Amino acid sequence: MKKPLLALLMLVALGGCATVRTLDANKPGAPVVYAGTRLDLYAMNGGCCPLDRFGAQAPAWPGLDLPGSALLDTLLLPLSLLTAAGVGFNATGGL
């Protein structure tokens, strides 16, 4: 009973996750490395235009999203670095 509930909560959390939003943004020139974490920090510091900068809206509660985005960005770091370096990996999106 606990595992399905946990899986459901994770899916709901990922729907608002800044990292997931920036991966799907596909905005040319948007940051790729630690994109979700940077989007959360941008929103927490009163950034005015996340769509223009990141190609994605910031989560409603960036402070709550920050730890999860930082963890997911860290797990995706090798792919982000390859993308930022232009090494034939076709990931798109945020920082």
Tens digits of residue pLDDT in 1-40? 577 767 656 655 655 688 888 887 778 888 889 999 999 9
Helical H segments across the chain, by residue range: 2-15, 18-23, 35-44, 50-54, 62-75, 77-85
Cβ–Cβ < 8 Å for 32, 89: no
- The pTM of the full predicted model, rounded to 2 decimals, is 0.75
Tens digits of residue pLDDT in 58-75? 988 898 888 888 988 999
pLDDT at residue number 89: 55
